[in-house]
Amino acid sequence: MAQQVPALPLGDEPLLLEVQINGYSTGKIAEFTLRNGKLLCRPTELAEIGLRVPPSVARSSDGLVALLDIAGVKLNLDQKNQELYLTVSDSHLLPAIVHLNGDTPPLERRVVESGTGLTMNYDVAGTHVGRDNGGVGSLDLRAFSPWGIVSSQWLAYAGASTPHGADAAAVRLDTVYTLADVNSLRRYSLGDFITGGLSWTRPIHMEGGQVLSDFSLRPDLITFPLPIISGTAAAPSTIDVLANGAVLASSSVNAGPFQVPQLPVVTGAGTISLTLTNALGQQVNVSQPFYASSALLAPGLQTYSAQAGLVRLNWGSVSDDYGSTAASATWRRGITPRLTLEGSAEGTSGAFTAGAGAVAQIGTLGIVNISAASSAGAGIAGTQVTAGAQRIGSAFSIGASATMATRNYRDVAAQNGDGVLRKQLSGFASLSLRRFGSAGIAYASSVQDAAPATAQLSSFPGVESHVISANYSVQIHHVSVFASEFKTFGSDGGTSGFQAGLTIPLTRRSSADFDVSSNGNTQVQVQQSVITIGDWGYDVFVSAGDASHQFAQVQYKSPISLVTGGVDHGAGQTTVRLEAQGALSLIDRAVFPSNQINDSFAVIDTSPMAHVHVFQENRDVGTTSSSGRLLVPDMRSFDLNHISIQPTDIPADVTVNSANRDLRPQQRSGVIVRFPIAISHGALLRLVDASGQPLPIGSSVTLRSTNTAYPVGYDGEAYIENLMPHNEVIVERGDGTRCRAAFDYTAISGEIPVIGPLKCVDQEP
């Protein structure tokens, strides 16, 4: 029988007890109450020490639970030593949660930084063909601030490069104001955007307003369910967790049940292994299969989008061509680790469409998805059904999907000039042969009707296409060999082809490719990529056979742009081309030229110090200019970026509070990162008494002008900052006696002057 606690007089007695369970200390102290000889505790307190409290256990009026009311619990109370010994079966213990990377920190409110300024990315190219000259360029303009971003993208043409039939020399792509809320994971847009969509809906270009959830605002957030492994340790042990043979992490566990959640694994099928090792070296091995897919959402996570406005027509060709007014919304939510539900609704003039679907995991085999949608409007109705299945494995992968729609099915895309997607079939299979390479086969088929007569633009003629392809590749030492074949057939006839080749790496940045194809062409290409500033690159291509073609270009990546020059000869004509890609940024009342800024950037400010080395993630990215500034163009938005400067580049007479800075920049924005640097105006004083002996260590010297105290070290030396041309110090020895000294100071750039021996004259007490 369970040992009862000693009988006590009526009344409550609070106890703080160290708890041991099944002979092992929990390392925790819990608060208990002795009431009428019974030991009681709050259920939340018991959960903290790992004890499971069944819902059926009675609770007192103040919410306490008597430990002996929990079936199977035995206890022994040692009041003298303030210890409680519990004997509990594993079924009554909560599993200890083991975090392989340490305790998971609570979700903190994140601070995202942004300056205020302008950035223009440009990509301009000029061509010369025969006697014709032409030019083409793309511009990405954006104004950023802590209150959001306004951006606009344009295409521009000149001379012979202007497309046939173009009605303007410049075409506007998207112009939009965007505001991202990193703590609610929500993004707001006003202007041009692409609607949110599901795998069975068709996104379109619109101009209007949009709100959507965006997990990219939290790059560290894993959105799909991760596998969990659990077990029971008979004694304190060490666990090692492996996925597909690779060690993930190790950790220690106490005796009792444990659980390792959120294991970091790659998507697809695999095996998790756990090795449990106790203090005697005895091991227990546990393995379990898993399947992880990014098509699922973790339980409780949801994504959504809602938008309304005008449909953009002829996007990329015409700046302002609009269809009908439309609105749409999508939603997805993780219900369980193996089930995600989704839904969509959209409407426009003459059609309203709504549908629902699900993505489910079938054991460890793979995932399946199904959906059904219905449309109505203008007296007609239609349906669309989608189904698919997929398994991704380390050795063998296979998948297939099908979308079928009735002839009268209408969505917003169909009502605005796109064809009705009547049928879409796809399938693939791939096999890894390990050191013998990998092989795959794929099939895709689509039947798209002509645009309905009720559409805003009924020019889509309809198309039917089918293609089947197969490929094989293998790595032989450093050489990659591949072969592929395809065959197409459909309403416009069919073609087939075969291609084989190999790639030979020459250096870290260069390689050579050799290809042959069934149409009689032989191709040779040698190229060297540009990666960092100062790199030169080249690309030489020769094709011989039915279609003779030669091409050569050279590239150089400077601190302010990527410049490319090349010559192309084919179809009996020669084209000379010159291209420049870069960016101009206006921030902090200065203009900074740089290479293209596709995400965020930072301007490092070490003024008044110049030529200081700057590091991003411990990688040297350049030195500050003569004005003490450097633009770093490839910062990761919403993620933690580490910036530092080289302390040895700072002269001895200069102080910097910190040589490191962590920041999270806003997307497509610039941040000013200032390292406060100041001239120390310091000197090393050598203080002696009236007899010429150094003042004793431990004395305190105070600069009269700032009233700042500094310690005296060995040999009477004291380092003092913020000195004036003429200075006076008061020294207090350990015995309480004082002395006074005065001296002049002249700054020496880059050095700490030594002043002394400086006689300190005793003062009357």
Q: Give the DSSP per-residue string, 281-344.
A: --EEEEEEEEEE-TTS--TT-EEEEEEEEEEE-STTT-SS-EEEEEEEEEEEEEEETTEEEEEE
Is the pLDDT higher at 163 or at 392? Answer: 392
Look up residue 327 and give its two tokens: 């609105």
pLDDT reading at 519 higher than 90:
no
Three-state secondary structure call for residue 415: helix
What pLDDT does residue 334 have?
95
Q: What pLDDT is recorded for position 612?
A: 92
Tokens representing 522 are 């032989």
Spatial distance between the Cα atoms of 31 and 101, rounded to a whole number of angstroms: 30
Q: Average of pLDDT values for 379-383?
A: 89
How many Å is the Cα radius of gyration of the chain?
36
Give the model confidence (pLDDT) of 244-293 as tens digits: 777 776 777 777 777 777 777 778 888 888 788 876 777 778 788 889 89
Of residues 654 and 460, more confidently modeled: 654
Total count of residues recorded for the chain: 765
**Spatial contact of 411 and 429, defined as CB atoms under 8 Å apart:** no
Q: Mind listing the pLDDT tens digit for each residue in 342-354?
A: 999 999 988 999 9
- Compute the average pLDDT of residues 529-554: 90
From the list 147, 117, 123, the residue with the least C-alpha distance to 600 is 117
Distance (Å, whole) CA 148 – CA 115: 10
Query: Of 266, 258, 249, 250, whose CA–CA distance to 228 is shortest?
Result: 258
Confidence of residue 165 (pLDDT cuts 50, 70, 90): low
What's the pLDDT band for 107 if we cut at 50, 70, 90? low
Higher pLDDT, 666 or 548: 666
Please give the mean pLDDT across all residues of the chain.
88
Backbone phi, then psi, for 648, in 5-degree steps? -70, -10
Tell which wins on pLDDT, 420 or 702.
702
Contact of 515 with 499, CB cutoff 8 Å: yes
CB 640 within 8 A of CB 616: no
Q: What is the pLDDT of residue 176?
A: 97
Helix (H) or strand (E) holding 47: helix 43-48
What number is the average pLDDT over the span 719-732? 92
Burial 683-697 (b: 16+ CB within 10 A, else e): bebebbbeeeebbee
Give mean pLDDT, residues 110-120. 93
Q: By C-alpha distance, which of 275, 273, 257 is closest to 265?
A: 273
DSSP code at position 102 = B
- C-alpha angle 563-568-569 in degrees, rounded to nearest 5: 170
Per cent of the chain over pLDDT 70 is: 94
Averaged pLDDT, 113-131: 92
Q: Is the pLDDT of residue 434 over 70?
A: yes
What's the CA gap between 244 and 171, in Å, rounded?
51
Neighbours of 10 (CB within 10 A): 7
pLDDT at 680: 84
Residue 240: pLDDT band by 50, 70, 90 thresholds? Answer: confident
Q: Residue 329's pLDDT is what?
A: 96
Res 168 pLDDT > 70: no
Lowest mean pLDDT among 24-33, 174-183, 472-481: 24-33
pTM exceeds cut of 0.95:
no
Q: What is the largest CA-CA distance in the chain?
A: 113
Residue type, 322: Y
Query: Looking at residue 154, what is its pLDDT?
Result: 94
* pLDDT at 390 > cutoff 80: yes
Closest C-alpha to 351, from 424, 425, 405, 423: 405
Of 491, 472, 490, nearest in space to 482 by CA: 472
The confidence band for 191, taking pLDDT boundaries of 50, 70 and 90, is: very high
Q: In this structure, are strands 96-97 and 256-260 parallel, antiparallel, or unpaired?
A: parallel
Q: What is the pLDDT of residue 101?
A: 56
Looking only at the bridges linking them, the beta strands covering 522-528 and 536-544 are: antiparallel
Across 274-288, 355-369, 634-648, least confident range: 274-288
CA torsion angle 215 221 224 228 (round to 10): -170
In the numeric block, the tokens 């020294």 are attached to 731
Q: Return the SS3 of 256.
A: strand
Residues 581 and 122: beta-carbon distance below 8 Å: yes
Average pLDDT rounded to a whole number, residues 465-482: 93
Q: Which of the four pLDDT bands, split at 50, 70 and 90, describes residue 379?
A: confident
Tokens of 341: 């539900």
